[in-house]
Amino acid sequence: MNVNAKHADERRLDAQFAFLLEADRLKQVIRATTLADGSRHENSGEHSWHLALYALALADQAGPGVSIDRVIRMLILHDLVEIDVGDVPIHSANGTAHGSAQVTAAEAKAADRIFGLLPTDIGADLRALWEEFEAAETPDAVFAKALDRVQPVLHNIAAGGGSWKDYNVTFDQLDARVGQKVARGAPAVWTYVRKRARGFFDQL
Residues near a second copy (CB under 8 A) are: 9-10, 13, 16-17, 19-21, 23-28, 35-37, 39, 42-43, 45-46, 48-50, 52-54, 56-60, 69, 72-73, 76-77, 118, 122, 126, 151, 154-155, 158, 188-189, 192
Closer residue to a second copy, CB minimum distance, 35 or 136: 35
Shortest CB 93 distance to a second copy, Å: 27
CB 112 within 8 A of CB 80: no
| Cα 8 to Cα 14, 117, 119, 187, distances in angstroms | 10, 15, 11, 49
| Cα 14 to Cα 35, 82, 121, distances in angstroms | 35, 23, 15
Shortest CB 33 distance to a second copy, Å: 11
Shortest CB 89 distance to a second copy, Å: 19
Q: For residue 128, give the nearest of 81, 74, 55 by alpha carbon.
A: 74
Closer residue to a second copy, CB minimum distance, 24 or 172: 24
